[in-house]
Amino acid sequence: MDYDRGDVVIGYDKFKENSDGRPFLIVSGENTPFHGEQYITLSLTTRTWYEDRIPIEESDWVEGGAPRSSSIMPWSVNSISATEIDVKQGTLTEPIVTMATEQLSRYVLDEYHQ
């Protein structure tokens, strides 16, 4: 199954042993190399003390949803293969996906340190 930009999937968490997986927001699109085999993602979290997190509101979901209040961590970039994805949890609206990728771009372009 191919996934699209904005899809939230549950995938293998490389940093947590014995994990049932974690939610990831797919931010890559069909023009990204190896689309369908590998995806660029941002991690989601239920923790609320991260200052730069982007809270996901109920209205941000096009389909699906989260069982608990969640946020996007725009600094937590992952590359996951299609084989590491267990299930699609839902899809977020493009405005919140764009907000997260723009925040990531500011980190990568080092705009905070100029």
Q: Where are the domains of the chain?
A: 7-109
* The pLDDT of residue 78 is above 60: yes
Is 0.85 surpassed by the pTM of this model? yes
Cα–Cα distance for residue pair 73/51, rounded to 1 Å: 10
* C-alpha separations of 77 from 47, 58, 94, 109 in Å: 17, 23, 18, 14
* The pLDDT of residue 67 is above 90: no
- Residue with token string 């069909």: 30
Residue 58, burial from CB neighbour count under 10 angstroms (0-12, 13-18, 19+): exposed
pLDDT (0 to 100) of residue 70:
95
pLDDT (0 to 100) of residue 60:
98
* 3 or 20, greater pLDDT: 3
pLDDT (0 to 100) of residue 94:
98
Query: 19-66: per-residue pLDDT in tens?
Result: 678 999 999 999 999 999 999 999 999 988 888 899 999 999 999 998
Give the CATH fold of the 7-109 domain: SH3 type barrels. (2.30.30)
The answer to whether the CB of 78 falls within 8 A of the CB of 2 is: no
